[in-house]
Amino acid sequence: MALRQQMVDEQIVARGIHDASVLAAMRTVPRHLFVDAAHADQAYTDKPIPIGLGQTISQPYIVASMSERLSLNPTDRVLEIGTGSGYQTAILAELVFAVFSIEILPTLLLEAQHRLTRLGYQNVETQLSDGAVGWPKQAPFDAIMVTAAPREVPPALLSQLADGGRLIAPVGHPAQQNQRLVFMRREGDTFTRTELYAVRFVPLRGGADKPDLNA
């Protein structure tokens, strides 16, 4: 608990995140329950942590920054691509009405589902599928957060954004240093795109990057 408050103060507030609801969510969600026992002592450190199968739970600051950027409202329905540990899912679940989260690796999804259920999140639905296709049955979404990097924002996701909807995604070549967070907003049929800071995420598998599925 003390470690979590320190994480928020030193890594997140100190770097300029001030959305009160995002800070409250980061102070609430027990990050140590989203990593395995071997990494529990690192849960509140300033870095990503391995969660198995070559995947990682993002650095706390990145989770907070991406969440803040989406300007989430309590009534929003949000799509997340890349459930992973379920940590970002839980943060979103604290902030909005409903979270729809897609994961492509069954083992990770199962573990994340257990954690989210045990912590009592009832506004989360998950699906095992290729997130590049989105979740057409539940569209449109007020916001979409992608937590694995495609080479370009998948068109299906843009088409599933509501009018006024926001999307944030790391975009770039897999495993390269040149990924960038991309923020997009839809107004009618117009999409505006803003490039934010450089990041390093695991690649989005499947779909356009199909060969990576067997990598």
The catalytic residue positions are 58
Residues 152 and 173: beta-carbon distance below 8 Å: no
Among the listed residues 88, 113, 126, 160, the single contact to ligand SAH using CB under 6 A: 88
> In what helix (H) or strand (E) does residue 22 lie, and over which residues does it extend?
helix 20-28
**Tokens, residue 161:** 């954004």
Asked if residue 116 binds ligand SAH (CB under 6 A), the reply is no
Nearest distance from residue 58's CB to ligand SAH, in Å? 5
Nearest distance from residue 102's CB to ligand SAH, in Å? 5
Stretch that binds ligand SAH, among 68-76, 163-171, 182-190, 203-211 (CB under 6 A): 203-211
* C-alpha distance from residue 197 to each of 30, 83, 165, 182, 208 (Å): 27, 22, 21, 8, 24
Residues 24 and 8: beta-carbon distance below 8 Å: no
Among the listed residues 29, 108, 116, 144, the single contact to ligand SAH using CB under 6 A: 108
The angle at the Cα of 157, spanning 153 to 163, to the nearest 5 degrees, equals 115
In the bound state with ligand SAH, the residue whose beta carbon lies nearer, of 19 and 56, is: 56
Binding site for ligand SAH (CB under 6 A): 51, 55-58, 81-82, 84-85, 87-88, 102-105, 108, 130-132, 147-148, 202, 204-207
